[in-house]
Chain A
Amino acid sequence: MAANGHQSNSPYVTLVSSDGLEFVVLREATSVSPTIRGMLRGQMIEARTGRCEFPEISGVILEKVVEYFHYWYKNQDKKDVPDMDIPVELCLQILDAADYLGLDSKPPLRQLKEGS
C-alpha cells in the first residue's frame, strides 16, 4: 500500500510534542502504536519526513510514551517483565494518550482480518 522508499530512509523517527519537544525514537519501537504506524505509511507528510507532530500530547506525557516504546521494544519477548513506573499524577493523561495512540490491549483490526 505504501511506497517503501521513504520507509527505509532512516531507522529513526522524530516525535514532536505540543510544546515543541522532539524525541528521536527507533522506528521499530514506535511500531507498537498502530496510530504512528499509520502515520508513517502511505503518502502522508509524516511518512515522507519521518516526523510526527502531536499537538494533543504535551512533552511530559510524550516522554513517558517514548519511554514505553523503548520498554516495549526491549521487553517484548521476555517473560515476567516488571511494570513500568508511571507517576500517579500523570496517569489520566497517559491513559488518554495511550487511547489515542492505540496502545491498548487489542490487536489492530487489519491484523485480525489478514489472519496472521
Chain B
Amino acid sequence: MADEPTLPRLTRPRARQPAVPAFFATAEGRKRARSPDGHHPPSGSTTSSDPAVFSSDDDPALDNYHVHGRRKKRYVGTWFDQHPASSDSADSAMGDDMRPSQPLPKPQKRQFRRQLDSGVWMGLDGGSVTDTDDGIEMAPPPAPRISLPAAPHPLFSVEEEMARGIVLECLDNGYEVIDLSQKGLCSLSNAILEPLSGLTPIPMVNKDVAFEQRPPSLRLYLSRNSLVQFPAAIANLENLTVLSLRGNKLRELPPSIAALKNLRDLNVAQNRLRYLPGQLLELMAKGSALGELRLHPNPFFQPKKRSYCRWGAPEYDQHMSDPEADVEKSWSGVTTIIRSRTPVQFSDSARNILSEFQIPVSDTPLSSSPQELEQEDFWQLAVPKAVLAGQSQSEPQPQPQPQQEESEGTTRRRSPRGVPSLFEIALRAAVRAPQAEQLSSMLDGDDIASHLAGVVDRAVHLHQMGGLRCSVCGRQTLNPVTEWLEFREVQRTVVKVIARDAMRTEVEKSTKTASNSNESWVPFMRWGCSWNCLPHKAVEPAGLEDRARLLLMP
C-alpha cells in the first residue's frame, strides 16, 4: 500500500498510542509488513490439498484470554514438521513462504502479559524470528498449569462428605430412598441436598406399557443424627414423600416446611421441639397428602389447664387456618382441631417484648418437665395488657376496648393492603446482602444501633430458612412482632364419600391419635407481621351462665 513510505503521520500516532498494548502495535506492524490484507484468508496458495490447520487452544484456560489483536497460533501439517504458520494472522501459506526471506519488523517494546505466554514471546525480543525459534515455541507451556485437584468443598466435615457420597450415589443410580440415618451428622449443608431435586428415577419398563417418565417420590431418612438445625434445602425437595428426622436435636421446624406438598409421612419424634410452625397446618388440611405424622415424644409446651371452650372454636378455625379443600373422593389423613390459644406476645421492632405474656425463649436449656403456658379465651381480644395498663403490671384490664376491627373478614387475609414498613423493607435489603451473616457484627460495634443486631440476626436466619409469612395477612415478614401459640388436637380423619346418583354424602370420622393426655394437645406457633395482625376474635357469648356451660372438661 501507499502508506508505507509516504504517510508517516498515519503510522506514527498508531504506534505511539499509549492505550494500545505494545505487542498489539507491533503485531499490527508486522502484519502489514508481511501481507497487506492480513485478515483475509490466502486465496491463491491455499488449495484443497493443503494440510489441516490446527489451532493452539490446548489449554482451556486460554479460551477466555482475550487481548486485542492476538490470535491463536495455528499449526499446519503433521506434528513432526510442524511449525507455526503464523502466530497472529490467518495467511498460513504465505507466512510460511515469506518468513525466512522477509525479516519481520523488530518489536521494540515487549510486555509480558501472562506467564503462560512467556514461551511464545520470549524468543522474539531479540530481533529476527527464525524457524528454530518457532520450533522452540512449539513445546507445550510447561509447569505452571498443573491445576491442583481442587478439593471441591473443603468446608464439609467427614460425616458430610460421607452423606454427600450417598446422595451422589442415589443420584447416579436413580435411587429414591436416601438413607442418611445414623451418620453422626451435626449439620447438613444445603449444597449436599440440593442436587436431589434433580433426581430422576429409573422408569419401570413393562411389556405393553408405554415408557413414561414419572416424577420421583423421594424418601429421605435423616433419623438418629445430631442435627441442630433443619437443613433448609429439604424444603426445596418438592417430590419428597417421606421425611424422617426422628432422634435429632432440632429445636424448631422452619415455616417453609409447608412447601412439601407431597409429603405423606413426616416423623419428627425424639427431637427438642417446643412447638411446631403454624404453617405445618397447611399440610394437615383435609385433602392433603400427609397421612402419617409422628410428633411424640418432644418437649412441647403444654397448656396450663386442659379445659377448652367449644364455643368460638369453629369460627376461629375458619379464620385462622387455611380454608379446607373440598374432598373429591374418600380420603384419610391427619387433621387438627383447635382447642385453645395463648395470649399474644407483642414486641417492638427491636425485639423488646412489651406484653405481659411471654413465650419462653426456645434456646433456654430444656428442663425435664414441659413448660406450661397460660391460655386465653377465644372471645378475648388480644391486647398487650401491660402496655394498656400504663406499663404497670398491677391489673390487666378486664374489658379492653375493641381495637380497630376490620370487618372485611376473610378477604383481608389473602390480600395485604398498603406497604410494608421501612424497617421491614430495609431488613429485606439486608438479608439479600452477600455478607448478610456479618451484618449483625457490624451493628454490634455501633453503640447506637447495637440493639438492632439481634433483629438482623433473626431476619437472616429466617431468610435462610426460607422466609416467613404472616399467619393473618399472608404478607412476607422478616420481623414478626406478634406471636402466639395455638393448642390443637391432632386427629386422624377418614372421609368417605358416598356418591349415589346425584346425591353425594360425606361421612367424616375422626379419631384421636394421642395415647395419653399429655400428648393430646400440640402447640402451633403463629406469627403476625404487625400489631394489627392478631388472632381472630370470636363474638362473646351472652351471659355468664352461657360461658359456664360452654366450658368443657375433656
Write out, one digit per residue, whether chain B residues 72-91 have a CB within 8 A of any chain A CB (1) or not (0): 00000000000000000000
Decide if A54 is an interface residue (CB 8 Å cutoff): no
Which residue on B lies nearest to A68, using beta carbons? B422
The reply to whether A95 and B433 form a contact with Cβ atoms under 8 Å apart is no
| Residue A1 lies at the interface, judged by CB distance under 8 Å to chain B | no
Closest CB in chain A relative to B147 CB, distance in Å: 34
Tell me the chain B residues, 48-90 only, with Cβ under 8 Å from chain A: none
> Which bucket holds chain B's interface residue count?
35 or more
Instruction: Name the distance in Å between B405's Cβ and chain A's nearest Cβ.
Output: 8
Q: Is A94 an interface residue (CB 8 A)?
A: yes
Binary interface encoding of chain A residues 74-114 relative to chain B, with 1 for a CB under 8 A from any of its CBs, else 0: 01111111011011101110111111010111110101110
- A115 interface contact, C-beta 8 A: yes
B30 to chain A, nearest CB (A): 48
Does B439 lie at the interface of the complex (its beta carbon under 8 Å from any beta carbon of A)?
Answer: yes
Inter-chain CA distance A78–B456, complex, in Å, is 28
- Establish whether residues B418 and A77, one from each chain, have CB atoms under 8 Å apart when the complex forms: yes
CB within 8 Å for A78 and B418 given contacts A107-B532, A115-B403: yes
Q: How far is A1 from B383 in the complex, measured between Cα atoms in Å?
A: 25
Do A105 and B530 form a contact, CB below 8 Å, given A68-B425, A75-B419, A112-B403?
yes
User: Is A26 an interface residue, CB under 8 A from the partner?
Assistant: no
Check B421 against A79 for contact (C-beta < 8 Å).
no
* Contact among B383, B402, B430 for A95, CB-based, below 8 A: B430
Expressed in whole angstroms, the minimum distance between the Cβ of B419 and any Cβ of chain A is 5
A96, B452: Cβ atoms closer than 8 Å = yes
| Beta-carbon nearest neighbor of B435 in chain A | A88
Known: A96-B448, A99-B349, A104-B423. A91 touches B418 (CB 8 A): no
Query: How long is the Cα–Cα vector from A94 to B404 in the complex, in angstroms?
Result: 29
CB neighbours of A96 from chain B (8 A): 446, 448-449, 452
Partner of B348, one of A56, A103, A104, A111: A104
- B422 and A65 contacting across the interface, CB-CB below 8 Å: yes
The yes or no answer to A72 lying at the interface (CB within 8 A) is yes
Whether the Cβ atoms of A79 and B427 lie closer than 8 Å is no
Chain B residues within 8 Å of A, Cβ to Cβ:
346, 348-350, 383-384, 387-388, 401-404, 415-430, 432-433, 439, 442-443, 446, 448-449, 452, 455-456, 477, 479, 481, 529-532
List 25 A-B pairs, Cβ < 8 Å.
A65-B422, A68-B425, A71-B419, A72-B422, A75-B418, A80-B415, A81-B418, A86-B429, A88-B433, A91-B429, A92-B430, A92-B456, A95-B449, A95-B456, A97-B422, A98-B349, A98-B426, A99-B350, A105-B349, A107-B532, A109-B387, A111-B404, A112-B387, A112-B403, A116-B402
> What is A's interface to B at a CB cutoff of 8 Å?
56, 65, 68, 71-72, 75-81, 83-84, 86-88, 90-92, 94-99, 101, 103-107, 109, 111-113, 115-116
